[in-house]
Chain A
Amino acid sequence: MTVTAVPPEASSASAAPRGGGVRRSVLRRAVPYLQAGPLALTLLVFLLIPILTIVAVSFWDYDSIRIYPDFVLTNYEELLTSPVTWKTYLNTVKFAALTWVITLLIGFTVAYFLAFHVQSTTWQMVLFLVCTIPFWTSNIIRMISWIPFLGRNGLLNSGLISAGLIDRPLEFLLFSDFAVVLAFVHLYALFMVVPIFNSMMRIDRALVEAARDGGASAAQVVWNVILPLAKPGIAIGSIFVVTLVMGDFITVRLMSGGQSASIGLMIANEISLLQYPAAAANAVVLLAVVLIMVVAMLRIVDIRKEL
């Protein structure tokens, strides 16, 4: 690309005095920084510095009124020695694991159907859009919309009762761990479908044909050809789902009716009690856990190649 850029550059440089050429090359080197500047500045001010602030504040001291600049380890001590923390982490990881397994199964199946069984490109586009549109609507509304379905007198309970399968409404449907995982799957299945579909669309169809000609059954093709080649998409989807669930607090609060806990919810509660240093220490540990999980998943895939 630089080669093709030379001719017009050279002709204009010969017309301009020499100093202009030097200034131009300096300008040229500055161009990518000017272009990437707004992005870099935004991320610096609203992501990197805030996170460094959290790290700093996690060492501060506090009482019931305000927070004090200090260097104490009590926030971490209290956090890591409390059995509540460990129980909450266990609960959060449980939510993440359940949601991951279910969204992976759904995401892979849906993407496989779209990529390999829908023949017309138009239909593929239409059905893919049908899957992605809910992603652009409000998460909170999508959670609320489960109430008439799962509630005590909800559609599911009355349906099961009139079918004679149960004689008392099931209590565990709404405001329970079940409801939390259901809402997670509902909200985040898209994050699995899209990257897996993207990976599958890049699979060379000749490979599938070759496997079939070689006598592989449909199941063998899926397991030995498509699954390994869809791994990058699976990894990207998994990163999205796991990090979203690990950091969530609103779904857990709304769908469990305050009866279940997650790390995000614990942080949100500490924030509402103005215990910022405690919340900050909790946030630093959460960030470390999430980053370790992501790095582990990134070992499988180089995302830059997948775009």
Chain B
Amino acid sequence: MTGNSNRRGLSFYLLAAFFGLFVLFLYGPIATITILSFQGPEGGLTFPMNGVSIHWFRNLFEQQAVGDFGGSFRRSIALGLTVMVLTVLFSLLAGFAFRRRFPGSGALFYLAVASLIVPSILVSLGIGLLFNILGIEPAWHSSALGAHLTWTLPFGLLIVFAIFNRFNSAYEEAARDLGATPWQTVRHVVLPILLPSLIGVGLFGFTLSYDEFARTLMTAGSFNTLPLEIYGMTTNVTTPVLYALGTLTTLFSFTVIGLFLAGVAILRRRRLRRTGAAR
């Protein structure tokens, strides 16, 4: 391992410094607004801090003029959870189908990839127009749900592809040789192996939907989701209450990500323990 010590030369430290700056660039702004959301009641949108208080957080919950913050939050959560479940289910099912070539598989694959490439505003406009022409009222639980799925499903599908490409089908063959039915093989062999990655797909589904703005714009109907509400606030709110909302939603996102990661870690550890015991 002499190569390692050689490599830790000047270039390592330069690259590490660059990486550090990149992380600062990623997290610095959000850290700044987190600090500023604790501005005193007289404080403004920028430094200096004019005292420290939780005035703006309280303001966020009492002042109804800001908008329907609670309702939009609930809608975003419900939508995010629905998108999460459907994304995991649909992309897993499709992943099974794509393990073998079938007539039309190529076209479907390109359609899924196209879904990532088509600008969000086109999806928004297209679904809005379609509902308009058909005379259906757009709503967050119908048109916006579909719009979000066009963004989360391709990610889910690509992740499932990646999983299956690394999947050792010897496990399935072993299960079959031991007399398992196809359903038993899936239920007791394939799914447990895939579970951690499926949690990842779920994370993508929930967070991408929870934060989606452009695809919701024309498809949410008369009730806003949280990103639409926040966007509305940016145009007419000029107090740190905006930062308080930003801090809270980011905190919420971090909590969700943390829970998902913890879930994966626990599964891994449990599996390690179990295989260790089997030995």
Name A residues whose Cβ lies closer than 8 Å to a Cβ of B: 1, 4-5, 7-8, 31-33, 35-40, 42-51, 53-54, 57, 106, 109-110, 112-114, 116-117, 119, 127, 129-131, 133-134, 136-142, 144-149, 151, 153-155, 158, 186, 189, 209, 212, 218, 239-240, 243, 246-250, 254, 264, 267-268, 271, 276, 279-280, 283, 286-287, 290-291, 294, 303-304, 307
Contacting residues, chain A, for B115 (C-beta < 8 A): 43, 47
Contact in complex: A264, B130 (CB < 8 Å): no
Contact (Cβ within 8 A) A36 B94: yes
26 A-B contact pairs sorted by A residue (CB < 8 Å): A32-B96, A32-B98, A32-B100, A40-B108, A40-B111, A42-B149, A42-B153, A43-B111, A44-B111, A50-B125, A50-B126, A53-B133, A57-B133, A109-B18, A113-B15, A113-B19, A133-B254, A139-B213, A140-B231, A140-B234, A144-B242, A147-B46, A149-B29, A246-B119, A248-B214, A254-B234
The binding surface of chain B is classed by DSSP as helix
**In whole Å, how far is A282's beta carbon from the nearest beta carbon of chain B?**
9
> Is the pair B32, A149 in contact by a Cβ cutoff of 8 Å?
yes
Q: How far is the CB of B234 from chain A (nearest CB, A)?
A: 6
Q: In this complex, what residue of B is CB-closest to A287?
A: B122
Instruction: Closest A residue to B23 by CB, please name it.
Output: A130
How would you classify the secondary structure of chain A's contact residues: helix, strand, loop or mixed? helix
Q: Which of B112, B119, B128, B161 contacts A287 (CB 8 A)?
A: B119
- By the criterion CB–CB under 8 Å, are B15 and A109 in contact? yes
Residues on B with beta carbons closer than 8 Å to the beta carbon of A287: 118-119, 122
Q: Select the stretch in B4-12, B57-65, B66-74, B188-196 that faces chain A.
A: B4-12
**Complex contact B117–A290 (CB within 8 A):** yes
Q: How far is the CB of A151 from chain B (nearest CB, A)?
A: 5
Residue of B26, B46, B133 touching A148 (CB-CB under 8 A): B46
Residues of B within 8 A of A290 (CB): 117-119
Interchain CB contact under 8 A, A271 and B125: yes
Known: A264-B119, A283-B119. 4 other contacts (CB 8 A): A117-B15, A134-B26, A136-B211, A148-B32
Contact A38 B18, CB 8 Å, known A33-B102, A155-B32 = no
CA gap between A33 and B96 in the complex, in Å: 10
Which residues of B are interface residues toward A (Cβ below 8 A)?
3-4, 7, 11-12, 15-16, 18-19, 22-23, 25-30, 32-33, 36, 45-47, 86, 89-91, 93-94, 96-100, 102, 104-105, 108-109, 111-123, 125-130, 132-133, 146-147, 149-150, 153, 157-158, 161-162, 165, 169, 173, 176-177, 179, 181, 203-204, 207-208, 210-211, 213-214, 217-218, 227, 230-231, 234, 242-243, 246, 249-250, 253-254, 256-257, 261
**Given known contacts A39-B112, A47-B111, A47-B114, is B19 in contact with A53 (CB within 8 Å)?**
no
- B111 contacts A48, C-beta separation under 8 Å: yes
Contact (Cβ within 8 A) B122 A117? no
The complex places the Cα of A294 from the Cα of B211 at a distance, in Å, of: 25
Write out the residue numbers on chain B whose beta carbons fall within 8 Å of the beta carbon of A57.
Answer: 129, 133
Contact indicator A247/B122 (Cβ below 8 Å): yes
Q: Is the CB of B94 within 8 A of A35?
A: yes
Shortest Cβ distance from A54 into B: residue: B126
Smallest CB separation, B146 vs chain A (Å): 3
List B contacts of A127 (CB < 8 A).
19
A54-B129, A138-B230 given; A32·B102 CB < 8 A:
yes
**Bound CA–CA A47/B110 (angstroms):** 12
Known A113-B18, A137-B254; contact A51-B126, beta-carbon cutoff 8 A: yes
